[in-house]
Chain A
């Protein structure tokens, strides 16, 4: 555990998807809940997102994808974390993700998926609890 007790979260937009309303709203809510939030901006590769998370010593990464590329891009992020011995970082996600893809995403290590209609409170509580119980 780092000296700071504030939770550090990277909110990332992997791939070419430009829909960032959800990512920005979630970033703001996590910050308003007292966390330190690093928003990556659009069009990031999984490599860039993991590098930012490692540099910033983040305890959690939230990924937002609405383009349908979630299976490929989530997997890459998780593989890269593993390769860097950082698979204790809590990875969660949101966007337009079909129900039938969720079991696969959980199997590869995504802790939770927040689809349309999720409340900000749910997401904030999830990050707090899952980082605390690492």
Chain B
């Protein structure tokens, strides 16, 4: 049956559909298949938000200003791995990693430099931070406090999605139970104090990057989302007090139409889940708002300029799917961090779609297409079935036992075998090859960054009040042992200039460390 065609999720594609019945509500109406807002991009374009960060806070601040000057409309911070793991730059495990995949942040003093010259009451900031999300958000709040910005006015998003870290991304610190407590603490605290902040961005992106199909991305992301909602409700929160601040983050991969259908299916599934299962009353609780990033794993090291075209198609799928914000990858990311030039081309790609293509003028322009509607229904059906399968096991158990990870690994392996056998063609990798020189200009981060960062920690330590630090950490430790909301204690520690390693280390003493299961 070589003539049979399949989507990346393995759904057989009909050559054409003579007709297909779809019951379509208007955009902005439940279950939001056609978009969460009645005006969509006619009212306001998506936020162009390029994930960036490297080296020191000072260097990244320069890149932020460059991107803003060139028309970017929101910030998105990439932190380095030690920061994402709650470690100081001076920690032995940080060797070789400081400032590499993102900016190094050790104390609130670094955070101040990171946002120097940027008005936090005007710009929204997304932070890809998970296990120590509560610490970085506290730092952001303290920067606002100390620079004269009303902290209730800050807006942005923290990723704060620990479940997909266990599943696919790997930057976890604590076991699930205390991690879920920290997340619920953030929901509760921010719903009162920082009502414009999205307190979680539940991410299918990394699940997809780890090799899942579109169906698995949908299913595992929404299963995780339900777990957070349940945890918050179990902690005594009213669903409509926190659910409007839940946001999502999806991948835009190669299968153009399947991706568009995926975004539409995600909106409809979430609306139904919130209304029917969690009895949400506020329409905002049912609205799946999402950020999209084009799929990093589809970028090729070979003929890297071709990646500009891949990114264009993926970004267009995200826009046709109704994304609220978008990151477009740079062409050189299969080899290194993006250079200034390639990062600018990536941003320009979005601007061309926004300003030249005409696509944003009509809301859900593909709505009603037989194939789009048919595929949206198929994805919803298959993902719903997979959610049921996972929930029968229990989401946390399905993670702890490695069930979810094995499913993703299997898909990743099959995908690679298809590329190796030539069944799946990748231009420049297994077809249309050409001789080329891969040695082009890339951005590299100097190893001496770590020494500079360690010096900065020492300076902060020399200038802080040791007594205040000691008390703040002691109080945090006591609170961690009990059941109080930890947010105020972490804010105190940040104000006292405790380092991220001191704060996360204090909680680790109480919470312990996560031990992953071997899935190989």
* Residues of A bordering B, CB below 8 Å: 15-21, 24-25, 27-29, 37, 39, 41-43, 45, 67-69, 71-73, 96-100, 115-117, 119-121
Interface size class of B (residues with CB under 8 A): 35 or more
Interface residues as binary, B446-459 with A (CB distance below 8 Å gives 1, 0 otherwise): 01000000000000
B93 touches A68 (CB 8 A): no
Give the contacting residue for A115; candidates B84, B85, B301, B409; CB below 8 A: B301
A39-B520, A68-B100, A98-B336 given; A116·B93 CB < 8 A: no
Q: List the B side residues contacting A24 at CB < 8 Å.
A: 409, 412-413, 519-520
Closest to A100 in B: B439
Q: List the B side residues contacting A97 at CB < 8 Å.
A: 335
**Chain A to chain B contacts (Cβ below 8 Å), 26 pairs:** A15-B93, A16-B94, A17-B81, A18-B81, A18-B171, A20-B210, A24-B520, A25-B409, A29-B413, A29-B416, A39-B520, A41-B516, A42-B170, A43-B170, A45-B93, A67-B81, A67-B101, A68-B337, A68-B445, A71-B96, A72-B95, A72-B447, A96-B334, A97-B335, A100-B439, A119-B430
Closest to B515 in A: A41
A116 touches B420 (CB 8 A): no
Give the contacting residue for B413; candidates A19, A25, A119; CB below 8 A: A25
CA distance A38 to B417 in the complex (A): 21
CA distance A67 to B336 in the complex (A): 9
CA distance A121 to B210 in the complex (A): 21
Which secondary structure characterizes the binding site on chain B? loop
Q: List the B side residues contacting A41 at CB < 8 Å.
A: 516, 518
B447 to chain A, nearest CB (A): 7
A67 touches B97 (CB 8 A): yes
A15 touches B96 (CB 8 A): yes
B439 touches A28 (CB 8 A): no
- Quick one: which of B298-350 are within 8 Å of A by CB? 299-302, 333-337
CA distance A81 to B428 in the complex (A): 37
- Quick one: which of B154-180 are within 8 Å of A by CB? 165, 169-171
B119 to chain A, nearest CB (A): 32
A116 touches B301 (CB 8 A): yes
Q: List the A side residues contacting B299 at CB < 8 Å.
A: 116
Closest to B299 in A: A116
Q: List the B side residues contacting A28 at CB < 8 Å.
A: 409, 413, 520
CA distance A121 to B442 in the complex (A): 29
B211 touches A119 (CB 8 A): no
Instruction: Decide if B429 is an interface residue (CB 8 Å cutoff).
Output: yes
A117 touches B301 (CB 8 A): yes
Q: List the B side residues contacting A73 at CB < 8 Å.
A: 95-96
Instruction: Decide if B462 is an interface residue (CB 8 Å cutoff).
Output: no
A120 touches B417 (CB 8 A): yes
B89 to chain A, nearest CB (A): 12
Q: Lowest 8 A-B CB distances belong to which pairs?
A: A18-B170, A72-B96, A69-B96, A16-B81, A68-B100, A39-B520, A116-B301, A99-B439
Closest to B99 in A: A68
A43 to chain B, nearest CB (A): 7
Q: List the A side residues contacting B165 at CB < 8 Å.
A: 18
Instruction: Decide if B209 is an interface residue (CB 8 Å cutoff).
Output: yes
A99 touches B438 (CB 8 A): yes
Instruction: Decide if B297 is an interface residue (CB 8 Å cutoff).
Output: yes
Most chain A CB within 10 A, of B92, B301, B429, B447, is at B301
Q: List the A side residues contacting B210 at CB < 8 Å.
A: 20-21
Instruction: Decide if B351 is an interface residue (CB 8 Å cutoff).
Output: no
Interface residues as binary, B213-241 with A (CB distance below 8 Å gives 1, 0 otherwise): 00000000000000000000000000000
Closest to B297 in A: A21
B518 touches A39 (CB 8 A): yes
Give the contacting residue for A16; candidates B93, B430, B438, B520; CB below 8 A: B93
A15 touches B334 (CB 8 A): no
Known contacts A16-B94, A18-B81, A28-B413; 18 additional CB pairs below 8 A are: A16-B84, A16-B171, A17-B81, A18-B170, A18-B171, A20-B170, A20-B210, A24-B413, A25-B409, A28-B409, A29-B416, A41-B516, A69-B95, A71-B447, A72-B95, A96-B335, A98-B335, A98-B444
B93 touches A43 (CB 8 A): yes
Instruction: Decide if B35 is an interface residue (CB 8 Å cutoff).
Output: no
B297 touches A17 (CB 8 A): no
CA distance A72 to B448 in the complex (A): 12
Closest to A13 in B: B170
Q: List the A side residues contacting B301 at CB < 8 Å.
A: 115-117
Closest to A37 in B: B520
- Quick one: which of B392-434 are within 8 Å of A by CB? 409, 412-413, 416-417, 419-420, 426, 428-430
CA distance A64 to B408 in the complex (A): 19
Instruction: Decide if B151 is an interface residue (CB 8 Å cutoff).
Output: no
Q: List the B side residues contacting A16 at CB < 8 Å.
A: 81-82, 84-85, 87, 93-94, 97, 171
CA distance A43 to B445 in the complex (A): 21
CA distance A73 to B95 in the complex (A): 8
Closest to A74 in B: B96
Give the contacting residue for B300; candidates A27, A43, A117; CB below 8 A: A117
B452 to chain A, nearest CB (A): 16
B211 touches A68 (CB 8 A): no
Q: List the B side residues contacting A37 at CB < 8 Å.
A: 520
B455 to chain A, nearest CB (A): 19
